[in-house]
Amino acid sequence: MLFRCSFLFVLLLVLCSWGEKAHQKINSSSVDFLPKELSQLKAWREVLKVHGSDADFRKKDDKTEFVKHFIDIDNYEDFRTKRSIELDFEKACQKYGRARVIKDGTLPWVTDSTYRKLVHDFKSGDWERAALTATDLGHYIGDGFMPLHISANYDGQLSGQTGIHRRYEETMIDRYIDQIQFKNSVCTKVDDVHSFIFSYLYANQSYLRILLQADASAYLKAGKQYNEVYYESLWNGTSSFTGKLLEESSRTLARLIYTAWLEAGKPKIPELNN
């Protein structure tokens, strides 16, 4: 038990969703997707960037934070057989057992409740709080676009590829992040936020298999080492969808900020400081 606890603690510090640089890019670039009506919110760029990984840092002091960053969705038989699980949190707890639902990660429901908080902040006109809520929302969205956060095989430990989490999300991304360019276009409103969150999780989970394959073949190509050749090969095998995942998560944050603002009744946005 002691081993498991300390192991979990180390994992908790190591598996920080996307690395800091990726979260910063996802969050800060989201303002470029916002429609004209929200152009004043471009002032949020720096806050979104600087606090992009605060949700990960909270895990150290808040033990309830850990499970909010992932969902081991392939642990659910419903997902394995039907590619979908119970969407409603309370119904999911009734169907699968509350302890199990929490243990397997609450990412979709936390993303949804953070979105609701943003609607509330917009309604109450608390723009400073809204900026920080949007920052957390961007973080949880970002985690939902990271295939290893949507699987029980989150560190390749079930397929003999332990360590892939950090190799992919941090070491590789940090080397190549400047090559990832987003094509900006205006974002659109989301009709049903709750089911939209689940639908992108299901879609992003499908990249897991190709990511594991790319890791295995890069390792062989590099002579069973994690060297330059390995990272170059991993990037070549994953760059097409990795760039897309980062861009889509940035656009998704913009779409949910826009949708929250509409749902709040289009409150007038004051002049905001950078």
CB atoms within 10 A of CB 116: 14
Kindly tell me which of 27 and 238 has the beta carbon lying closer to Zn ion.
Answer: 27
CB 185 within 8 A of CB 248: no
- Contact between 17 and Zn ion per CB under 5 A: yes
* One of 26, 38, 56, 147 touching Zn ion (CB under 5 A): 56
Stretch that binds Zn ion, among 2-10, 16-24, 191-199, 251-259 (CB under 5 A): 16-24
CB 139 within 8 A of CB 54: yes
- Contact between 69 and Zn ion per CB under 5 A: yes
CA–CA distance, 8 with 240 (Å, rounded to integer): 32
CB 204 within 8 A of CB 245: yes
Stretch that binds Zn ion, among 113-121, 137-145, 171-179, 206-214 (CB under 5 A): 137-145
Stretch that binds Zn ion, among 69-77, 111-119, 166-174, 180-188 (CB under 5 A): 69-77
* One of 72, 121, 143, 170 touching Zn ion (CB under 5 A): 143
Angle at CA 119, nearest 5°, toward 244 and 50?
55
Q: Which residue is nearest to Zn ion (CB)?
A: 17
- Tell me the Ramachandran region of residue 54: left when phi exceeds 0, alpha when psi lies from -120 to 50, beta otherwise: alpha
Kindly tell me which of 104 and 143 has the beta carbon lying closer to Zn ion.
Answer: 143
Q: Which residues bind Zn ion (CB under 5 A)?
A: 17, 56, 69, 143
